[in-house]
Amino acid sequence: MIAQPSCASPTMSSPKLKEVSVRLPKDYGRPDEPWHHYFTIDLIWTTLGYTVFHPFVSWVVCLCLRAQYTPYGAPEMRIAVAWAMAMSMIGIFNIFSDRIAFGRPREIDLAEEVIVITGGVDGLGGLLAETYGMRNANVAVLDTKKVGDEEAEDKGVLYYECDISDPKQVEAAAAEILEDLGPPTILINNAGISRPKSILDSTAEEVEQTFRTNTLSHFTTLRTFLPHMIKERRGTIVTVASVLGHLGAANLASYTASKAALIALHQSLRAELAQNPDAEEIKTILVTPGQMGTEMFAGLKTPSNFLAPVVTPAELAKDILRVIERGESGEIAVPLYAKYAPVMNVLPVGVQAIVRRLSGVDKAIAGSGLVGKTTSEKK
Of residues 214, 262, 215, 248, the one with CA closest to residue 341: 248
Q: Catalytic pick from 159, 255, 283, 337?
A: 255
User: Is the distance from CB of 140 to CB of 117 less than 8 angstroms?
Assistant: yes
| 301 is a catalytic site residue | no
Report d(CA 96, CA 107) in Å as an integer.
19
| 255 is a catalytic site residue | yes
Strands 193-194 and 186-189: unpaired
Of residues 377, 148, 108, the one with CA closest to residue 241: 377
**Per-residue CA distances from 88 to 169, 170, 330 (Å):** 51, 48, 21
Beta bridge partners of 235: 282
Of residues 120, 151, 116, 123, the one with CA closest to residue 137: 116
Dihedral class, residue 330 (left if φ above 0, else alpha if ψ from -120 to 50, else beta): left
Of residues 125, 123, 112, the one with CA closest to residue 157: 125
User: Is the distance from CB of 161 to CB of 179 less than 8 angstroms?
Assistant: no
User: Is the distance from CB of 198 to CB of 256 less than 8 angstroms?
Assistant: no
Of residues 188, 187, 117, 190, the one with CA closest to residue 147: 117
Q: What are phi and psi of 294, to 5 degrees?
A: -115, 175
The DSSP secondary-structure symbol of 213 reads I
User: Is the distance from CB of 215 to CB of 262 less than 8 angstroms?
Assistant: yes
Of residues 111, 117, 98, the one with CA closest to residue 137: 111
Q: Catalytic pick from 155, 259, 283, 378?
A: 259
CA contacts within 13 A on the Cβ side of 285: 28
User: Is the distance from CB of 257 to CB of 251 less than 8 angstroms?
Assistant: no
Active site (catalytic) residues: 255, 259
